Amino acid sequence: MTKKKVFIISHSHWDREWYMPFEQHHMRLVTLIDNLLDIFKNDPDFDSFHLDGQMIALDDYLAVRPERKPELAAAITAGKLQIGPFYILQDDFLISPEANVRNMIIGRDQAREYGQEVKLGYFPDTFGNMGQTPQMMQLADLNTAAFGRGVTPTGFNNQVSDANYASQYSEMWWQGPDGTKIMGLLFANWYSNGNEIPVDRAQAKAYWDQKLADAEKYAATDNLLMMNGVDHQPVQSDVTAAIKVANDLYPDYEFIHSNFNDYLAALKADLPTDLSTIHDELTSQETDGWYTLANTASSRVYLKQKNTVNERLLDSVAEPLATMAYPAADYPHDRFRYAWKLLLQNHPHDSICGCSVDEVHREMLTRFAKSSEVGRYIAQDALTVLANRITTTGFNADAKPFVVVNTSGAAKTGRVTVTIEWARRNFSEAGTIQSQRAELMAELKKLPTLQVVDSKGQPVPYRLEKSAVDFHYDLPKDRFRVAYQAIELTITVAVTVLPAFGWQVLALAPAVTSTPALPSLVVDEQTVANDWVNIQVAKDGSLTVTNRETGRKYQGLLVFEDTGDMGNEYIYKQTADNQAILSTDFPFDWRVVHADDVGVTLEFVHHLQVPVSADDQLLAEQQAVVDITHRTAKRSSDVRPLDITTTVTLSRDSRQVQCRSTFNNQMRDHRLRVLFKTELATMTNDAESIFEVVTRPNRPAATWQNPTNPQHQQAFVNLHDANDGLTVGNIGLNEYEILPDSRTIAITLLRCVGEMGDWGYFATPEAQCQGPISCDYSFELHDDSDDQRLASYQRARDFQVPFSVMQTTAHTGELPVAGQYLTNQTPELAITSLKRANNTDGVTLRGYNLDKQPVTLQVKRADWQASAVNFFEEALPTVPVDQLGPAEIKTLLLAQK
């Protein structure tokens, strides 16, 4: 009789920061690895330790114990310490596609400095799993993923209720939306099912009787996996002795201290033919809905906003600018890696999800700031180099040229704001600082009438926002700093269809002739409109918006909803009174802020009255660690004003309407959302996720008991039927919900709670997010065509990518006054990265198919040729470069012929 094998893998799931600040966990990590290195030397039977799939643990350890690096390297080489393949254990949904990729690249690179990474996609505690995981693993040279959430194991005595989200076994096939299939390994009894194994024989018998039965309930083979560890678990120093006891007690089993490589080899050799196949994203869809942890998408929204801005700065501004500006030898790979690592340090799930103690998230703000400053430096330097390469002559001698660059992957229309230095006085010049300032102030008052013109002398609509005399300084690279004062003119300029990775030169100059005003976008006292959209202010403070091409009217857009929240950082739970406060029940004011050739901006102030907090019952329930599903707290009877100021901007040449809501939150225990009522005849919604546009049902499964159905998004969510559609974009607002009765899109602007949640009471007063808040979002109407719908997706994505702009001198360069680095004539291609290749002189371009149909891929750069590569820029010779399959992720390596 063949013995069943029990593979015992020692590990510790290392949340880098969570219920204690980073350094508290850090010091314990140092102790853990110190102990490991001693055990490796002293216990020859100790096979290995799995370092949680994340290389950052080694960085953290060596920051304190650099002298032990040789021992560490020797342990890795010997297979004692199992490392990689990732840099951190991220949250899939709350970081960008590119951040997910850079996590894999940096993780594997660092692992291979020591030897070989573990060939396993490791997601033990990710709060749901992205649907493109199979394809992403394949593109990272991995064919198996292990995860702890998202799938319901049914065991042998249960019928699978939905093949997409349930599996009879803990082992299964996982198929992504493009058809890629990998092995999926579910920690059906969690990643602690072999923790703290007893050495005492009586205790061991009771322990193993239960553990073996639990594992065998779901195992597809006679190879059983036992994970000897859990969150921050110290290494079990007597595990090999415990294994000897188990082998004595159970002669029909072979207990082995092992590792994932050996376990997976044995598992795959014995797999049955009846494994289930699960599909696409795994977010615990077939559960009661309470513990999906999806509401972490709205916990501490300020973190998500900063993260999105930082990600776009690196992957959509600085990297494209540096690629366009520098030859390969000058590309700042090292600085980018430094910035990405800083940013990724904020991406572990307990960090970016906003579900830790306050000290953790304070430290995150510093990391965001540091990564941002590096990104801004690189972008500014690259833009300077690029501007110097572009020809800017052809304007009048007294014109002030400036370069506008579109670093997004699609043609972009909109507005750009730039500050033009009109005249300056260096401190080193004659006169006192005060007299220089007086001269500049006098010159400012005598400025001529100005206009913005393009390289052909045609006027471009602009608006003067501010004029002032201000102090600044230059930092030349070859001499000491230069302090000066200057007349500065801040202008907003209309930009009409700047192509992907394209640029143009404009100039601010004295007007030669008067420019006739364009037709006003103000229709009447209640209405503004451009060629595509009509916006009417309703009597209740909402908007009635009409698609002028189809005639479809949407009533009840831009309504604010405030509800009580007695949940925690993980889960929203409405207070027991079920009170929903709507802006349409309160007074509002509005005015036209701008109405000119650039566009029109309306300002609304909605005057809500909101309870200051939950009642006293909530604190008592929190301190007693009452499960949120059993809480009974209500909202306070003490009501205070909450004024929400919203600007609504309609550009002359864009279908997209852009909004910014600002308010000073002094309330606690509540959630604020903005609602877009559609009444569209559809049962599903589309949202941007990680390298895909995922289609989700508007209504949850029959098993769902949670009254709410929160979902993740990246740049947009969309509802459409056979005739019309509405796309709502955002900047760092990662949570939405579809209210199914009216097909209303609800975007969470703020969620305020006072405790972390999970396994104890951890007060988090800063998670109440009190203080000034600003939220950016957009909406766009489209018709029934795929072309308009996909274009609205591209514009929502590009809403997160500002134009880059810089004043420059009049000079001749090798690049034309208007040009494009490369062309993208594939409307379905959502470009996520343009950067210099890591290992060659070429350029890599990455993106994914927004659609579920195959398309011809048309991306070109003159005199360059393309080849398909994986995430590590390794050749994929069988993958065509001119085709993009449904939901396909494609990385092209472009090299000069």
- Where in the sequence numbering do the catalytic residues fall? 125
Closest CA to 574 of 654, 665, 635: 635
Q: Three-state SS for 791?
A: helix
Cα 815-819-825 angle, rounded to 5 deg: 140
CB 702 within 8 A of CB 709: no
Check the CA dihedral 363-366-371-372 and report its sign: positive
Q: Map tokens 């890696």 to a residue.
A: 337
Closest CA to 824 of 502, 360, 430, 359: 502
Closest CA to 604 of 593, 620, 618, 617: 593
Exposure on the CB side of residue 361, measured as CA atoms within 13 A = 26
Which residues in 15-170 belong to E strands, given as ranges? 49-50, 81-82, 121-123, 144-147, 152-153, 166-167
Exposure on the CB side of residue 439, measured as CA atoms within 13 A = 15
CB 366 within 8 A of CB 122: no
CB 516 within 8 A of CB 502: no
CA–CA dist 36, 524 (Å, integer): 75
Per DSSP, helices labelled H in 853-894 are: none
CA–CA dist 268, 272 (Å, integer): 9
Q: Which two tokens stand for residue 130?
A: 């992205």
Peptide bond into 85 cis (omega under 30): yes
Closest CA to 764 of 304, 350, 369: 350
Which residues in 430-542 belong to E strands, given as ranges? 450-453, 459-460, 462-474, 482-498, 502-510, 522-524, 527-529, 533-537
Closest CA to 239 of 469, 475, 63, 49: 49
Count the neighbouring beta carbons within 10 Å of the beta carbon of residue 288.
14
CA–CA dist 309, 368 (Å, integer): 10
Q: How deeply is 481 buried, as exposed, middle or buried, from its count of CB atoms within 10 A (0-12, 13-18, 19+)?
A: exposed
Exposure on the CB side of residue 418, measured as CA atoms within 13 A = 26
CA–CA dist 323, 684 (Å, integer): 39
Name residue 167's beta-bridge partners.
153
Closest CA to 272 of 189, 185, 171: 171
DSSP secondary structure code for residue 157 in this structure: T
From residue 816, give the alpha-carbon distance in Å to each of 392, 505, 594, 813, 820: 8, 9, 34, 7, 9
Cβ neighbors of 427 (< 8 A, separation 6 or more) are 433, 436, 482, 483, 484, 485
Per DSSP, helices labelled H in 501-659 are: 616-623
